[in-house]
Chains A and B, each alone.
Chain A
Amino acid sequence: MVSASVYGSYQDLGVPVEHQFYMKTITLFEIIKKHVNKHIGIVTSTIENQAIATIAKAVTDALEEKAKEILDAESRAKLFESHTVFFDQCLAHLQENLSILQREPISQTDKDRYYPDVAVMYNNLRNTAKNLDIDQVINANVTSRYRQTIRYEVYKQYEKRYKQLLKLKNEPVEESDKMILCEAICLLDYYRKTVNPDMRIYLASTDYHFSPCDSEGEVTAQIKKKFNIICDWPDKIAIYLKSDGFN
């Protein structure tokens, strides 16, 4: 949602963007927009608030950096103005993107019911991550005669393989992310009971605490196994939706 909103602002201003992040979200929003009457895109207040906060943080971080170099009042005023106008543009695009999503209310009591399970899952994964010693993994899986010669290459491979866990080790999952997962679980439970017992929920995210990195990740696998929520990057979710018949 953040990247789609920022991308929209860049388009308006004629600023070319080359980074893949932006393009990864476009197809998904196109599919959701095309099938807007089928309510396939869902948003919650936690996601909405986090999206606004994320854009605000990026804008204020950039402003803080630039403000250090500027001493005169007039330039500082121009800097504040250009940043607020860009911020407003992003907010306008965010509202536009939100308008094609179904806003689902979820009670705090329902969310709280799932919170312990979600917290325990992330704690366990973090403990696994803390105990993860790639050198030990190499010693256990690569015969001693090859270890020395290919250690660097193998180390990189394992680092890639366990990227999601390593990321979790360095950046603990935020409370708001845990809440987002709780909300997804609540919604799946609700939809399965009231709409269709075979209902699937996809959680589109570029956050490694949900979606896989380069390879299938332990966190994504655990979320799917424990809570039946399929987390992946927005472009991958677009592919899943296409295979579900939403072309």
Chain B
Amino acid sequence: MRSDLNRMEAKGSVDRSFVTKIDVLDLELVKMKKYWIDQKAVSVGSAFMFYSAMHNSELVLNKMRDRFNKAHQADDNPGVACDSLLVMPIISEVFQKAARAAEEQQRLSPFLPTEMLKLVNTLRTTARQVNLLPTPDEEVKRTDKNLLRETAVGLDKKFVASNLLNDI
């Protein structure tokens, strides 16, 4: 996919058929997300880190797809290809690490979830800088608000009860 983006950048023109490749990758991410939800061989915390990485990659890909679809009308040609070139290597690394972790399961390196967390942060920071990350409002839009509030309330108790806010 990177070579496609390089070509588009060099040509100065966006190829709309790239959206099909985004769809294929997106499908893989959805499968991988499901895998980590169902995964019981590793701790829930570790599974969540990989799930969250897949979720964030998906968010970025959705935004990318949207921009590719509108590139010609929105004068985003070849801007979206150049921007995508910055995040695609990170998504690729995220996916490879998650796939490796899926193979390792019980032999999973304890450092891998932490590495994933760092990668997610790098992905979000980079994507935000090049307008490939949905706004927080857009991110929340698709989620069940009541469940989200419930999660927040539960976490509030967790934050205070476990004194986690004492850490920094």
A interface with B by C-beta (< 8 Å): 1-3, 6, 9-10, 12-15, 17, 19, 21, 47, 49-54, 56-67, 73, 76-89, 91-92, 95, 205-208
Contacts and interface: CB of A to CB of B under 8 A. Distances in A.
Nearest to B156: A17
Instruction: Tell me if A's interface is mostly helix, strand, loop or mixed.
Output: helix
A77 B125 CA distance: 26
Contacts of B109: none
A84 B120 CA distance: 11
Given A54-B168, A85-B143, A60 B48 contact: yes
A63 B49 CA distance: 11
A21 B151 contact: no
Interface string B1-44: 00000000000000000000000000000000010111000011
B121 interface: yes
A12 to B, nearest CB: 7
B151 A19 contact: no
B48 A83 contact: yes
A85 B139 CA distance: 7
A115 B166 CA distance: 22
Contact-residue bracket for chain B: 35 or more
Contact of A19 (B125, B147, B156): B156
Instruction: Tell me if B's interface is mostly helix, strand, loop or mixed.
Output: helix
Ordered nearest first, which 5 A-B pairs have the shortest CB separation?
Answer: A60-B45, A82-B151, A84-B52, A64-B44, A62-B158
B148 A82 contact: yes
A207 B164 CA distance: 9
Interface of B: 34, 36-38, 43-45, 48-49, 51-52, 55-56, 59, 114, 117-118, 120-121, 124-125, 128, 136, 139-140, 143-145, 147-156, 158-160, 162, 164-168
B143 A81 contact: yes
Given A64-B43, A82-B148, A95 B160 contact: no
Given A15-B156, A61-B158, A84-B48, 6 more contacts: A50-B168, A60-B48, A76-B37, A85-B143, A86-B148, A205-B168
